Amino acid sequence: MIGDIAKQSLQSPRVLIPVEDLLGNARGSRIPDVCGESLSIEIARRIVDACPTSALTLAESGSAPELALNYGECIACQRCVQAGDGAVRMAANFTLCGVRKHSLIRRWNLTTRTEIPQDDPVAVDAARAIRELLKRALNIRQVDAGSCNGCEAEIVALNNPYYDLERFGIHFVASPKHADMLLVTGPVTRNMAEAVKHAYEATPSPKLVVAVGACGCSGGIFAGNYAVTGAVDSVIPVDTYIPGCPPTPAMLLTGILQTLQRR
């Protein structure tokens, strides 16, 4: 019986996705991308109105009106794509994974219809320490701080034969005491806040904390509701953020490697 399975396994076609096809790939994430050239003040108003969270905002007061898209609050609902008259599309590539919080926000000048360049992402000190200490090895402890389980479904997928996270020397461990990185999902609920703090304290330094998903980055649609404290950084310090609702395995991988500055 086991022999049959082994035989079948050897005969079946390879499904492993090459790393270059994964990094920055946004397929299936439904994350929006804005085409600056097609923007106008009317379109900007329309897509801001269509956004059910406050991910899209318009600043009309200054000398040049500015559109801002905070990916940390985006739940990938596609309303802006439908309202945007071609100025907003589903992103084919997306690299703002595993970045500092302020880097999640992109801005467009509506007068020049161009994107306002971002500061260079700042390197995370702990990432360098971990890389020097452990080279290619990384242990991750995943902590669900109140998520809907959508992010977990995608994190679990990282272990399947398509993504095979272990090829990068990265694996998931059962205890924060064995971990170099905490991958934390969910709006932090009041009922989980204490446990999340304990998990953080139990993780030895140097350590990295990555907030995952719209809820982990900003509290998502649950922000401000009575039973949640909000984003992961409302209870523990966070190094980098991976947006998405949920982020796809490709986005998660991009985010983990980018946090380590291994890409």
With CA atoms as reference, report the closest residue to 141 among 227, 229, 201: 201
Q: Is 245 in the site for other proteins (CB under 8 A)?
A: yes
Contact between 76 and 244 under an 8 Å Cβ cutoff? The reply is yes
Q: Give whichever of 31 and 124 is closer to other proteins, judged by the CB atom.
A: 31
Q: Give whichever of 27 and 100 is closer to other proteins, judged by the CB atom.
A: 27
| Contact window for other proteins (CB under 8 A) among 59-67, 76-84, 102-110, 118-126 | 76-84
Residue 194 has what DSSP assignment? H
The contact pattern for other proteins, residues 121-150, with x = CB under 8 A and - = no contact, is: ---------------------xxxxxxxxx
Q: Where are the alpha helices (DSSP H) in 106-207?
A: 125-134, 150-157, 193-202
Rounded to a whole number of angstroms, the minimum distance from the CB of residue 49 to other proteins is 12
E strands, 110-243, in order: 114-116, 138-144, 170-172, 181-185, 188-189, 208-212, 228-230, 240-242
Q: Which of 122, 175, 177, 197 binds other proteins (CB under 8 A)?
A: 175
Q: Give whichever of 123 and 227 is closer to other proteins, judged by the CB atom.
A: 227
Round to whole Å and give the CA distance between 15 and 252: 19
Q: What angle do CA 16, 153, 247 make, to 5 degrees?
A: 80
Q: What are the residues binding other proteins (CB under 8 A)?
A: 1-2, 4-6, 9, 15, 27-28, 30, 52, 75-78, 90, 142-157, 159-162, 172, 174-176, 186-187, 189-195, 199, 215, 220-222, 225-228, 245-246, 248
